[in-house]
A and B are shown apart, each in its own frame.
Chain A
Amino acid sequence: MMHGKLFAFLFLMWVLIIIGGAIAVVILGPISISGFGESDPLINSIVKGTIAIGLSIAWILILTKMKNLIFRKTFNY
């Protein structure tokens, strides 16, 4: 039973990676800020980096929720 949950959790992680990738390409990809001259690439990277960090934090929070949901009974935490 526990081993089945582990496989399910790995599958969930995979699905989250695919969805995360889709969001990254759809949201991060088209972002292009201009009007700051030579600073454009830097500002673009800062904005994309901030969004990427936000997405990563969201990914970790969702994974933590899932972990608690799947393994809560096992350890009673």
Chain B
Amino acid sequence: MTELIIPAVVSCIVAFFTVFLMTPPLIKYLHKKNLTVIDIHKKGKVMVVRPGGPALIAGVITSEIVLYAFFQSNEILAILITSSLAFIVGLVDDRKAMGGWFKPVGLVLAALPIIILGAYDSDLAFPLFGEVHIPILYLAIIIFMIVITGNTINSIDVANGIASGFMVIASFSLSVALFILQNYEIAIASLPLGFISLAFYKYHKIPSKIFPGDSGALTLGAMYGAIAIVGQVEVIAAIALLPAVLNSFLFLASVKKIVDHRELNEKPVEITDDFKLKATKNKRARISLVRLIVATTPLTEKEVGNVIFKLALFSAGLAIITAFMMEFKV
């Protein structure tokens, strides 16, 4: 156990400071290249740079390489390669808005290294009732997991600081669950995700200086999914992600097809004169988590973020309870 402390500490420091130190020059560079978008929730025409993905993937690569130097495990390699491929998929979408099909298909390819490296166990573990052995079916679960986690994190990126703040809560709860289940190596491999998200949150929180973009959100989401697969905590990971899953579920239930949100004209929320978010009365607009949050009272962007973080903390609690439940069998 003590031999794991040094890699854990070093990788977390490397993860945090790579993103923390790399983001300010990235912001400067993106401003210089005029890679900005309007922050629609702000008074006036506030421009914010994007994408922050390059800083995030730098944090992933450096920290996971540090861990690979210590452990030389295929699981860490799978996390590293899957996250990097998801970053490339997101970066392509950042540079040229692709259709709704592109990200799911790209993320399928990003999931393949986990299968090729054999960094998985085909038993799917459930709380209280044990495991189910599904050797061939599990391959489909690996692919679905990466596609779903990548896209749900991307879809929860609805306001300043939400995606990174949400990821801090979800990933640390996943790390706690992995420690509870005594899967120490993957628990340590998962810690950098929380520290990367935390460092990025410093610049992403209200008022945002940078947005993660598709490259950032897909990197975080795919890394989270890869950790869930190689750590055999798929169900716990899904539970920690429930608010984002709910957001995606509401989206699909109201739109009824896979489509990029940029292709939809009707916005689920409107901005009041005092720059609060309020639910639109337009029945054709999709239902979203934010629309539900502001359904009864208009709220500021910060208040909406706080509600989402409370929901994330609630789900994180349920995920940790579920981890304890894994230890008991009915």
Asked whether B132 is an interface residue with its Cβ less than 8 Å from the other chain, the reply is yes
Instruction: Determine the distance from Cα of A21 to Cα of B140 in the docked complex, in whole angstroms.
Output: 17
Judged by DSSP, the binding face of B is helix
Instruction: Determine the distance from Cα of A25 to Cα of B330 in the docked complex, in whole angstroms.
Output: 11
Instruction: Determine the distance from Cα of A56 to Cα of B19 in the docked complex, in whole angstroms.
Output: 38
CB-based contact A42/B246 at 8 Å: no
Judged by DSSP, the binding face of A is helix
Taking the closest CB of chain B, its distance from the CB of A49, in whole angstroms, is: 5
Residues of B within 8 A of A10 (CB): 242-243, 246, 311, 314-315, 318
Instruction: Determine the distance from Cα of A26 to Cα of B133 in the docked complex, in whole angstroms.
Output: 12
If the complex has contacts A10-B318, A17-B235, A17-B239, are A3 and B134 also in contact, measured as CB distance less than 8 A?
A: no
Contact flags A42-66 to B (C-beta < 8 A → 1, else 0):
1001001100100000001001100
CB-based contact A11/B126 at 8 Å: no
Asked whether A35 is an interface residue with its Cβ less than 8 Å from the other chain, the reply is no
Asked whether B116 is an interface residue with its Cβ less than 8 Å from the other chain, the reply is no
CB-based contact A13/B242 at 8 Å: yes
CB-based contact A2/B296 at 8 Å: yes
Instruction: Determine the distance from Cα of A71 to Cα of B291 in the docked complex, in whole angstroms.
Output: 11
Taking the closest CB of chain B, its distance from the CB of A27, in whole angstroms, is: 9
Instruction: Determine the distance from Cα of A63 to Cα of B136 in the docked complex, in whole angstroms.
Output: 27
Taking the closest CB of chain A, its distance from the CB of B269, in whole angstroms, is: 13
The residue in chain B whose Cβ has the minimal distance to the Cβ of A49 is: B137
If the complex has contacts A13-B242, A17-B238, are A45 and B128 also in contact, measured as CB distance less than 8 A?
A: no
Instruction: Determine the distance from Cα of A25 to Cα of B129 in the docked complex, in whole angstroms.
Output: 6
Instruction: Determine the distance from Cα of A30 to Cα of B93 in the docked complex, in whole angstroms.
Output: 44
Residues of A1-19 whose CB lies within 8 A of B: 1-3, 5-7, 9-11, 13-14, 17-18
CB-based contact A14/B136 at 8 Å: no
Taking the closest CB of chain B, its distance from the CB of A73, in whole angstroms, is: 10
CB-based contact A25/B137 at 8 Å: no
Asked whether B295 is an interface residue with its Cβ less than 8 Å from the other chain, the reply is yes
Chain A residues proximal to chain B, CB less than 8 Å: 1-3, 5-7, 9-11, 13-14, 17-18, 21-22, 24-26, 28-29, 41-42, 45, 48-49, 52, 60, 63-64, 67, 71, 74-77
Given A28-B132, A48-B134, 17 more A-B residue pairs with CB atoms under 8 Å apart are: A2-B293, A2-B295, A3-B293, A6-B292, A6-B293, A6-B307, A13-B245, A21-B235, A22-B126, A22-B330, A24-B124, A41-B136, A45-B136, A48-B137, A49-B137, A74-B292, A77-B283
6 closest A-B pairs by beta carbon, nearest first, are A21-B126, A45-B136, A25-B129, A29-B132, A74-B295, A22-B129
